[in-house]
Structure 1
């Protein structure tokens, strides 16, 4: 897990671009042409990935599953047996709360799942293991927030997974014990294609319930051609999804 974390930090932005800039500095005196290329790629990559317009276009390529319109929510009970929410990390030791809390992305998923639950009456399952091997599990944190802040109970918690593939594998195992094979899956729109692929490989019938679409009009000045920090963070998540969609079929069968 630690090796995977460090590799992602080195490869994904901004780490990979900083390495290119460092390489340019190291090569400047001996290989000026290579150094100039590395500097151009490093600075140019940072600029491009900090543009909201780039986020918007990249998300349109990745967000392939349509949203569930609200009129469809009550009919989910005829199409599925449980709502599964995938974890999305945590915020560490926030003094305002006195404990670790689900990330902002996870809270988006919980809010959406609570609305789907109230509209359909379907029970909920949280899926997420230990974050960097530190308890409590993401599933336990999400279940607590769902109960305390949304007054919605969680029936099942899958607390072993560390990857999207394991979310699917371990969730499917728990659900099979209950005779359940039809699920509503809640996660970000860009993450949904990879998550859907994983859950269907476990023999589950999946209704996709994506949220957090980024492939919409960015509503920024100058059409989103001014760089901003939020866009760099969003671009990094989208690049992570693009790599995941390409690599998962090679890593998992």
Structure 2
């Protein structure tokens, strides 16, 4: 897990682009032309990925599943057997809460899952492993938040997964025992294509319930053409999903 994490940070922005700039600096005397190309690509890449308009355009290409219409929520009990909400990391030792907490993205998913659960009456499974290699798991943290803050009791906790594929396969192991074959899947809109593919691959019928859409008008000054630090992070997430969509069918056959 640490090696995978390190490689991921080195390849995805801004790590990969900073490495490109470093290579350009290292080659500035040995090969000025190659160094110049590295500098141009590195700076251009950082600038492009820091633009909210880039995030908006990229997200539109990835966010394939439409939002679940509110009029459909009550009827989910006839179309599905359970709600599965995927983890998205955790924050370590937050002093305000006296311990680890789900990330902001995870809380966004939990809020939506709680609303769907209350309207539909479907049972909930939380999925997410040991983000820092030690307990509590993401699944346990999410279950606590759902119970304490949203009044929703979680029936199943899948606390071993480290990847989206493992979210699907380990959840399948638990839900098959309960006869669950149809799930409402809650995750970020950009993460939904890879997540849906994984859950369908292990045998589920999936009703997508995406949240956190980024492919909407960015509402930034000058239409989103000014650099913004948040956009670099969002661009990295979207690029990770694009790579995952290409890699998963090759790795998980």
Indicate whether the TM-score tops 0.5.
yes
Aligned partners of 1:30 and 1:162: how far apart in 2?
A: 42
Aligned partners of 1:48 and 1:136: how far apart in 2?
A: 38
State TM-score, norm by structure 1. Answer: 0.99
Aligned pairs for 1:28-177 within 5 A: 28-177=28-177
Q: What is the CA distance between 1:132 and its match in structure 2? A: 2.7
1:23 corresponding residue in structure 2: 23
State TM-score, norm by structure 2. Answer: 0.99
Alpha carbon RMSD of aligned pairs, Å? 0.5
Aligned pairs for 1:201-240 within 5 A: 201-240=201-240
Aligned partners of 1:235 and 1:67: how far apart in 2?
A: 21
Q: Deviations over 1:55-111 (max 9, x none)?
A: 000000000011101111001001001000000000111111110000000000000
Q: What is the CA distance between 1:118 and its match in structure 2? A: 1.0
Q: What is the CA distance between 1:179 and its match in structure 2? A: 0.8
1:245 corresponding residue in structure 2: 245
Q: Deviations over 1:120-160 (max 9, x none)?
A: 11110001111131210000000001111111110000111
Aligned partners of 1:180 and 1:21: how far apart in 2?
A: 50
Aligned partners of 1:134 and 1:160: how far apart in 2?
A: 11
**Matched residues, number:** 253
Q: What is the CA distance between 1:175 and its match in structure 2? A: 0.5
Q: Deviations over 1:138-189 (max 9, x none)?
A: 0000000111111111000011111000000010110000111010000000
Aligned partners of 2:62 and 2:123: how far apart in 1?
A: 29
Aligned partners of 2:91 and 2:130: how far apart in 1?
A: 13
Structure 2 gaps, min length 5? none
Structure 1 runs, 4 residues or longer, greater than 3 Å off: none
Aligned partners of 2:206 and 2:172: how far apart in 1?
A: 11
2:8 corresponding residue in structure 1: 8
Aligned partners of 1:41 and 1:16: how far apart in 2?
A: 11
